Amino acid sequence: MGDHTVPYLNEFMAVDNDGGRVATYPDTIVIIDKSTGEALAVKDARAGMDVALLVSKAGILPVSSSSIDRVGIAECEQIMGIDFLDHLDPTLRPGTSAYVSER
């Protein structure tokens, strides 16, 4: 996608460019088809499409326990051959968001 590479494994898992890693799962990574305004599934993304890339950093939206499970993430690293654990925010907690206040 332009200057960005977006590796995937059932979903978009990272965003890289010449400057390094831009986003890493469990960040939310969405590719929007500009012609329809709809999010693209991995299976529907094609070279040459006019798209927009959106990223929401993990912690802005709540995360699930499975999305920050170090064992599962290590398996993704092994399968994909790219780093995830080095980019995982150790302060993330399941169901929490940086913008949800404590009551």
Res 103: pLDDT: 43
Average pLDDT over residues 79-102: 82
Q: Look at residues 86, 90, 83 and name the one whose alpha carbon lies nearest to residue 68.
A: 90
Kindly report, residue by residue over 42-84, the tens digit of the pLDDT. Answer: 999 888 899 999 999 998 888 899 999 999 999 999 999 999 9
- On whether the CB atoms of residues 59 and 97 are closer than 8 A, the answer is yes
Full-model pTM: 0.84
Q: 51-55: which pairs have CB atoms within 8 A and are 24 or more residues apart?
A: 51/1, 53/1, 53/4, 53/6, 53/15, 53/29, 54/28, 54/29, 54/30, 55/15, 55/22, 55/23, 55/27, 55/28, 55/29, 55/30
Instruction: Give the CA count within 13 Å in the CB-facing half-sphere of 57.
Output: 11
Res 98: pLDDT: 62
Give me the chain's average pLDDT, please: 89
